[in-house]
Amino acid sequence: MKKLLATTVLSMLAINLIIEPACAILERKIDKQTKQTTILDTVNFDWWKKQNDEHLEKYIVSAINNNYDIKTAALKIEQAQINVMSTRAGQLPTLSIGASPALIKMPETTKTMGSFALPVMASWELDLFGKNWDKTKSSKKLLKGVESQAAASDIAIIAAVGSVYYNIVKLDKLIEVQKDLVKDRESIYNLMKLSNDEGIASTADMIQAEKSFVMSQNELLDYEKARNSALNALAILIGDSPENKKEYSRISADELNLQFDVPSEISSDIISSRPDYKALEYQLEAAGLDVRVAKKEFLPTINILGMLAFVATSAASSMSFENALGLAAGSVNLPIFTGGLKKANLKLNKNKYEQLLAQYQKTNLIAIQEVNDSLYNFKSDEEKLKNNSKAYEIQKKDYGYSELKYDEGVISKLDLLQQKEALLYMEKLLASSKTDCYIDKISLYKVTGARI
């Protein structure tokens, strides 16, 4: 009796337990260090190191570790991995064990009889036509597609970090120069006011000087507002609180290296290896497999079923051969009428394939356009930088001559301040040109899938 009780308890614990080997790895955890190394390779961190900016490198690593979009992309990859395991399980047999205790009273008797059955059942869909195998291959293609999408997202986020960072560097310089410009225009206004009081300058000239002074103050406020927004954006990108933005260090625009090392041409092989391009390629392949699966749904389903059960009324005979019940069977099922469901499913999958094909072809054209635009923008801004550098040097020399003339009493202080204003304006243009080239370079990095 003790043996019967122990067997019943173990059987009850095993009720409805389905053994699926593929689910054994569902608890696998991705090592954090391995994940970071993978993303560093995806975003081509060595390329960022060549910029020789430790501040920017720090923000990129912080974004890799803390950006919530990157974390979401990693979770989507894990979801796709689980989906592969789920579809793979459909190719494997299932095994279940259960327990069925019973209390029986026969008609015209007052006695009851206890019994229990211990059934072990196995079933397997024989994948003779490869339908389930195609489902697994489709899920694997989708996994690769999700991985490529995550890579594209990672590259876009890191590119955004770099672009925002250099915009902040530019705004730092513009604010610095604008403050000098505000002081210069205030001095001009004060001189014009004195000249007007003495009848030397007209009221219109004084009003124009005052207007320029006020406009320069507003321009300074706009720069400061833009920098504040850029710092907030950087905080979100690196997964930090915007409250810490005052602590963010960065390079000075004057320290930027003007050796850009950008190729004059981009190979088409680089374009075709872009992660977003590859993602659509994998999705298209998966959609093609889904069409095959939809076609195979019209074929019969072949199932193999096996069962072994022990039915006993006492512990002594519970596992004996006399009390065993065995069954091995097979079935072939071919639905004759489904209300057009299978036809509709096939049409839907074909439609999905056609949509993805059109999107794939469009992405190819967009990729070529983006590379061409980015390359042209960089070359144009690089030429503008050279011109602005020359213009700045000319204005700097001109201002030096004006200082000598002022010291010799040839020109007035007002004339000198106006020359300084022109120099400050050229300094702003030069700072913008420098950082625009860096941002264009990052744009090329992004549109080439970090393989520039």
> Residue 452 domain-assigned?
no
Q: Which two tokens stand for residue 74?
A: 């990693």
- Cα 418 to Cα 204, 326, 422, 424: the distances in Å are 17, 104, 6, 10
pLDDT at 140: 96
- Rounded to 5°, angle at Cα 311 from 310 and 317: 85
- Rounded to 5°, angle at Cα 147 from 278 and 36: 125
Among residues 333, 352, 379, which one ends one of the domains? 333
pLDDT at 328 over 70: yes
For the domain that residue 25 is a member of, what is the CATH number? 2.20.200.10
pLDDT at 320 over 50: yes
Query: Which alpha helices (DSSP H) does 198-274 contain, by range?
Result: 203-237, 268-272
Nearest-angstrom CA–CA distance, 95 and 122: 4
pLDDT at 16 over 50: no
Domain match, 116 and 201 both: no
Other CB atoms within a 10 A radius of the CB of residue 246 amount to 7
Domain match, 240 and 144 both: yes
Domain match, 390 and 329 both: no
Q: Among the listed ranges 10-24, 48-62, 89-103, which one has the minimum average pLDDT value?
A: 10-24
> Residue 109 domain-assigned?
yes
Domain match, 99 and 161 both: no
pLDDT at 10: 36
pLDDT at 30: 45
Q: Which two tokens stand for residue 224?
A: 């400061």
Q: Which two tokens stand for residue 204?
A: 């219109």
> Residue 441 domain-assigned?
yes
Q: Which of 141-155, 305-319, 330-344 has the highest mean pLDDT?
A: 141-155
Q: How confident is the model at residue 441 (pLDDT cuts 50, 70, 90)?
A: very high
Q: How confident is the model at residue 283 (pLDDT cuts 50, 70, 90)?
A: very high
Instruction: Quick: pLDDT tens for 210-235.
Output: 999 999 999 999 999 999 999 999 99
Instruction: Quick: pLDDT tens for 157-183.
Output: 999 999 999 999 999 999 999 999 999
Q: How many domains does the chain have?
A: 2
pLDDT at 382: 94
Among 95, 94, 97, 96, residue whose Cα is nearest residue 125:
94
Instruction: Quick: pLDDT tens for 403-438.
Output: 999 999 899 898 999 999 999 999 999 999 999 999
Q: How confident is the model at residue 14 (pLDDT cuts 50, 70, 90)?
A: very low
pLDDT at 309: 83
225 within 8 A of 54, measured Cβ to Cβ:
no
Domain match, 176 and 216 both: yes
Instruction: Quick: pLDDT tens for 247-277.
Output: 999 999 999 988 888 888 888 888 888 999 9
Q: What phi and psi values does residue 188 have, to the nearest 5 degrees?
A: -60, -45
Domain match, 12 and 56 both: no
Domain match, 65 and 113 both: no
> What is the mean predicted confidence (pLDDT) over 308-312?
78
Domain match, 210 and 323 both: no
Domain match, 346 and 376 both: yes
Nearest-angstrom CA–CA distance, 18 and 122: 10
pLDDT at 386 over 60: yes
> Residue 223 domain-assigned?
yes
Q: Which two tokens stand for residue 261?
A: 């090392």
pLDDT at 297: 92
pLDDT at 17: 37
Among 81, 47, 78, 80, residue whose Cα is nearest residue 159:
47
> Residue 285 domain-assigned?
yes
pLDDT at 22: 36
pLDDT at 18 over 70: no
Domain with 286 in it:
39-91+133-299+341-447
Instruction: Quick: pLDDT tens for 35-84.
Output: 777 899 999 999 999 999 999 999 999 999 999 999 999 999 999 999 99
pLDDT at 439: 96
Domain match, 80 and 156 both: yes
Domain match, 349 and 254 both: yes
27 contact partners, CB below 8 Å, separation of at least 6:
none
> What is the mean predicted confidence (pLDDT) over 3-31?
38
> Residue 424 domain-assigned?
yes
pLDDT at 141 over 90: yes
For the domain that residue 284 is a member of, what is the CATH number? 1.20.1600.10
Domain match, 86 and 99 both: no
pLDDT at 29 over 60: no
> What is the mean predicted confidence (pLDDT) over 345-355?
96
Among 326, 268, 291, residue whose Cα is nearest residue 134:
291
Instruction: Quick: pLDDT tens for 99-137.
Output: 878 777 777 777 777 777 788 899 999 998 999 999 999
